[in-house]
Structure 1
Amino acid sequence: MFDAAVFGSLFLTLFVIMDPPGITPIFLALTAGRAAKVQRRMAWQAAAVALGVITLFGLVGHQILTYLHIDVPALMIAGGLLLLLIALDLLTGKTDEPQQTKDVNVALVPLGMPLLAGPGAIVQVILAVQNHDSVAGQVSVWAAIIAIHVVLYVTMRYSLLIIRVIKDGGVVLVTRLAGMMLSALAVQQIINGITQVIHAY
């Protein structure tokens, strides 16, 4: 009732896309000046919002695709191109870090969405849910989704400690490695989508 390969593949893909180490400095910047208790609460809220958004698209994503008459290969190619753009941002160090605003709950926007539950993660979840329709596959997919959000919460919850351990240089290194892995995944997904189109026609 559990497929370790499916779990591992989706978990690693979401880990690279959602980038828990990379979100750490952004989380600290957005929650700067707030009490530790408030920071802990915002870490939980951000992870919960992201999980809610991802779950919504995981449950109704197939219906959305059917309604819009979008085939899986088209989604795979579009998703691959989107992942490639994210990978390039990670590799080049391009970040758009919003400034923290005390009047806004940044745990909801922009942390929960779109920084965590972004387009890349949403596309991957829709594809994973659609491609693994067995009981074992579905259990593994949803286990991976829950697991990555637990990792995100723990990472943000202990972000101050993590920064002290790996330093800014460590975060940059992990982000660059994630960008390389994600670019390879993106290219492979584009190739798979094109291959399916060729076989279909």
Structure 2
Amino acid sequence: MLADYLVNAFATLFVTIDPVGLAPMFLAVTSGATAVARRRVAVRAILIGGAILFLFLVAGKNLLSALGISVPAFQIAGGLLLLMIAIEMVFEKRNRRKSESAEKAASHQEDPSDVAVFPLAIPLIAGPAAISAVILLASQAPDTLSLFGLAAVIALLVALCFLSFLLADKIERLMGDTAAMVVTRLLGVLLAALSVQFIADGVRAFIAANA
């Protein structure tokens, strides 16, 4: 049970955050920066993005309660959001949109370190889809041990993002455009299936709660 939950959590967050896909974005927004400056930007982006994800892991459920939103309703809404992201990935629209956001942010930043906050930390690492996924997964955790496991999964993915930033130039050369396109579409199909499962679980729980 715990193993299935953690595998599902890792797959959902890996596809949503897409650490490998962040490599070219990182290169785009840190173009012209020295190796030391890039490492500084990477560290700052990871700390901020990770902190946001952990914040919603801890306080997401309370935030929903304060807003009067039920967990099943959020499961349905979050599942639909993730499904939209999956459709963008399958039809190769998400990377294009993320690239445009990264380039636009880079052109408007005076200090290179500013890109650590936007667009790297927000929305590339801790974007709406990733935040929704964290709250969804936290709401589905069967016990406290599962929540600690989810925290470990988030920490692992944040570490993978940092590794992706450090190896960005090598990853981009290794993958190439064709391989990146194939991987993105396969991950999009996987995310679509997970999204439908989230929606189905939410509908079932919503009907049961209002029956």
Q: Are 1:150 and 2:149 an aligned pair? A: no
Aligned length: 200
Q: Which residue of 2 aligns with 1:103?
A: 110
Query: Contact between 1:31 and 1:39, CA under 8 Å: does it hold in 2?
Result: yes
1:2-54 Cα distance to aligned partner (Å, 9 max, x none): 94333222111100000112222111111111112211222222121110111
Quote the Cα distance in structure 2 between the aligned partners of 1:199 and 1:130: 16
Query: Contact between 1:88 and 1:183, CA under 8 Å: does it hold in 2?
Result: yes
Q: Which has the higher helix share?
A: 2
Matched letter for residue 153 of structure 2: A
Matched letter for residue 27 of structure 2: L
Normalization by structure 2: what TM-score?
0.88
Matched letter for residue 25 of structure 1: P
Normalization by structure 1: what TM-score?
0.93
Q: Are 1:198 and 2:207 an aligned pair? A: yes
Q: Which residue of 2 aligns with 1:63?
A: 62
Quote the Cα distance in structure 1 between the aligned partners of 2:33 and 2:42: 12
Quote the Cα distance in structure 2 between the aligned partners of 1:46 and 1:54: 12
Q: Which residue of 1 aligns with 2:73?
A: 74
Q: Which residue of 2 aligns with 1:120?
A: 129
Quote the Cα distance in structure 2 between the aligned partners of 1:167 and 1:57: 34
Quote the Cα distance in structure 1 between the aligned partners of 2:11 and 2:43: 21
Q: Displacement, 1:73?
A: 0.8
Q: Which residue of 2 aligns with 1:4?
A: 3
Say which of 143, 147, 169 aligns to 1:138: 147
Give % identity. 37
Q: Are 1:25 and 2:24 an aligned pair? A: yes
Say which of 170, 174, 177 aligns to 2:179: 170
Structure 2, unaligned runs of 5 or more: none
Q: Displacement, 1:59?
A: 1.2
Matched letter for residue 91 of structure 2: T
Aligned-residue Cα RMSD (Å) equals 1.7
Q: Which residue of 1 aligns with 2:49?
A: 50
Query: Contact between 2:78 and 2:136, CA under 8 Å: does it hold in 1?
Result: no
